Amino acid sequence: MTIVEHKWSALPVPYAVEVADRVPKQRYYDADFYQMEAELLWPRVWQMACRLEEISQPGDFAEYQILDQSVIVARTEELGVRAFHSACRHRGVRVAQGRGSALGGFVCPFHGWCYGPDGRNTKVTQARAFSENNLQPADLDLTPVRCETWGGCAWINLDDGAPPLRQCIEPFATMFDAWKAESLRAEWWYACRLPVNWKLAQEAFFEQYHVLQTHPQLRIPGRSPTRNPADFDPRVFVEAELHYLRMMSEGMDGMVHARDVQIAEGLADVELPADYQLARSTWERTLNDAVSRAHRERGCDVPDLNQLQDQGFNQPMGYCFPHYFILPMYSSASSYRFRPLGPEETLMEIWSLTRFPEGGEYEPPPVPEMWECDDPRWPPIAIQDFSNLPKQQRGLHARGFEYMRLSERNEGQISNYHRVIDGFLAGLPYQQLMAVLPKINVNPLEMPIVEIGF
Ligand code: FES
Ligand SMILES: [Fe+2]
């Protein structure tokens, strides 16, 4: 990655990020800026609309809402996964809400017009009362929305002119194909209402700089090199690693899956070299092998984690612009999605993903109720991350605060994706935007500021 040399941008966007390491505060609450995002960003990007296990049977549908748009994603008998606007072609009534099965089709609750699970109009009640003009068959189906699947999810794009999904989400897609993201299933799914802007919410997870202060329980002695190499004790190191894995597992209720913690505990007696770096790499490789083997023996589709490591794909996090993350740890992962509910309100969802034996029984988690961010049911690491956010949103309004000052080295991704947002708000053509997306659809942790090119 090259550190940015040209720090000035001149895009005609209000509150644009003009100096790469300074983010103007108004971007997080200004109503006009929010409106620009609603008109120029969200309708042009691929959005993770639902997990495929939510619509595993033909006829199953899931509603995806973004701002004032409601999109139905449905699994059809022959056509795979389809999406369409939830608006009856008669007088606009939403034809479906939430989740369910539409095997018998959708019936508009107002005058009873009917649509198949594929969105095709199947009945106009009292059709003779309408003029020919208003009954053109091509005009009566629910209006389709672009929809593609990848990584165990359905994705939608409201812009018919947008490039295909895969092109827009590289190299994230390649990295998580190698990690077999498509064979993960949700173990639980929670939702949170955060009283902050959607960008502020996701940026809480874009760097590791906050870890020592916000998550003091993750400061575990024994995991780092000793000042004097002769003092290094591999037994202390293994104990510290096991402690860390337990903290991560309990802290996120599964990002490191309890099963993987057990596998690691089974390695507690492993012989490690007396050199820190060698001990760390031997430990990681031994654990990776043990995890891959154990899950394979259970009948799960799991990657060879050491092979991924060698390919550079075994990263702790992947970001998919604009609103989706996967945080993989050994066999399993946490996955996040963020949606704006207002200039200063966000819906954040977390899925805990893991691997289930192929062909075995699986019950998807229920649609979550929306918890407040201080709800005691949140796992402890999430509670800690959420606790800063309302304070930060309030602080941004201070008359004495103008912009966020970012660390060029540790917080670069915050600058990078904000400047891509500015490209969308400036109405740049896809050709220009596509050139920069691969620079930000990566592991955001410790990302430096990069050259965006506009
Ligand atoms: S609005 Fe749907 S049938 Fe009239
Ligand atoms: Fe955190």
> What is the mean predicted confidence (pLDDT) over 206-232?
94
Q: Does some domain include residue 255?
A: yes
Between CA 254 and CA 185 the distance in angstroms is 13
Between CA 357 and CA 244 the distance in angstroms is 27
Q: Is the CB of 362 under 6 A from ligand 1?
A: no
> What is the mean predicted confidence (pLDDT) over 265-293?
97
- The reply to whether 241 and 325 lie within a common domain is no
- The reply to whether 352 and 232 lie within a common domain is no
Protein residue with its CA nearest to atom 1 in ligand 1: 91
**For the CA of 111, the nearest atom of ligand 1:** 3
Q: What is the CATH number of the domain that holds 64?
A: 2.102.10.10
- The reply to whether 225 and 288 lie within a common domain is yes
For residue 351, CA distances in Å to 127, 155, 159, 236, 371 come to 45, 16, 27, 33, 14
Query: Model confidence at 7, in pLDDT bands (50, 70, 90)?
Result: low
- The reply to whether 385 and 420 lie within a common domain is yes
For residue 366, the CA-to-ligand 1 centroid distance in Å is: 30
- The reply to whether 342 and 428 lie within a common domain is yes
As beta bridge partners, residue 15 has none
For residue 124, the CA-to-ligand 1 centroid distance in Å is: 9
Q: Does some domain include residue 13?
A: no
Segment among 36-40, 249-253, 326-330 with least mean pLDDT: 249-253
Ion ligand 2: protein residues whose beta carbon lies under 5 Å: 385
**For the CA of 95, the nearest atom of ligand 1:** 2
Q: Is the CB of 93 under 6 A from ligand 1?
A: yes
3-state SS track over 110-140 = CCCCEECCCCCEEECCCHHHCCHHHHCHHHC
Omega cis (within 30) before 322: yes
Q: Does some domain include residue 11?
A: no
**For the CA of 89, the nearest atom of ligand 1:** 2
Q: What is the pLDDT of residue 1?
A: 47
- The reply to whether 55 and 146 lie within a common domain is yes
Which of 259, 292, 311 is the C-terminal boundary of a domain?
Answer: 311
For residue 384, CA distances in Å to 205, 211, 323, 379, 395 come to 12, 10, 21, 9, 18
> What is the mean predicted confidence (pLDDT) over 164-182?
97
First-residue to last-residue Cα distance in the chain: 17
As beta bridge partners, residue 82 has 74
% of the chain beyond a pLDDT of 90: 93
Exposed, middle or buried, 213 (CB in 10 Å: 0-12/13-18/19+)? exposed
- The reply to whether 266 and 327 lie within a common domain is no
Q: Does some domain include residue 277?
A: yes
pLDDT at 250 exceeding the cut of 90: yes
Q: Give the model confidence (pLDDT) of 194-206 as tens digits.
A: 999 999 999 999 9
Please write down the long-range contacts of 357-363, taking CB distance under 8 Å and 24 or more positions apart: 357/298, 357/299, 357/300, 358/183, 358/299, 358/300, 358/301, 359/299, 360/299, 362/53, 362/185
Structure tokens at 247: 């903290």
Q: Give the model confidence (pLDDT) of 45-55 as tens digits.
A: 999 999 999 99
Say which ligand is closest to the CA of 121: 1
Which of 268, 292, 311 is the C-terminal boundary of a domain?
Answer: 311
Q: What is the CATH number of the domain that holds 202?
A: 3.90.380.10
Q: What is the pLDDT of residue 451?
A: 93
Between CA 142 and CA 388 the distance in angstroms is 43
- The reply to whether 98 and 205 lie within a common domain is no
**For the CA of 112, the nearest atom of ligand 1:** 3
- The reply to whether 202 and 219 lie within a common domain is no
Residues 339, 193: contact at Cβ < 8 Å? no
Structure tokens at 183: 């064979």
* Containing structural domain, residue 402: 22-43+173-210+319-440
Q: What is the pLDDT of residue 9?
A: 64
pLDDT at 232 exceeding the cut of 50: yes
pLDDT at 6 exceeding the cut of 70: no
Which of 311, 336, 352 is the C-terminal boundary of a domain?
Answer: 311
What pTM, to 2 d.p., does this model score?
Answer: 0.95
Q: Does some domain include residue 1?
A: no
For residue 345, CA distances in Å to 45, 189, 200 come to 20, 20, 10
Q: Is the CB of 134 under 6 A from ligand 1?
A: no
> What is the mean predicted confidence (pLDDT) over 380-396?
97
Q: Does some domain include residue 259?
A: yes
pLDDT at 259 exceeding the cut of 60: yes
Q: Give the model confidence (pLDDT) of 400-423 as tens digits.
A: 999 999 999 999 999 999 999 999
Q: Is the CB of 108 under 6 A from ligand 1?
A: yes
- The reply to whether 296 and 328 lie within a common domain is no
Q: Does some domain include residue 4?
A: no
Dmax (CA) for the chain in angstroms is 91
The domain tally of the chain equals 3
Protein residue with its CA nearest to atom 3 in ligand 1: 111
Helices 234-251, 380-396: axis angle to 10 degrees equals 70
- The reply to whether 362 and 418 lie within a common domain is yes
Q: Give the model confidence (pLDDT) of 106-137 as tens digits.
A: 999 999 999 999 999 999 999 999 999 999 99
Exposed, middle or buried, 170 (CB in 10 Å: 0-12/13-18/19+)? middle
pLDDT at 138 exceeding the cut of 90: no
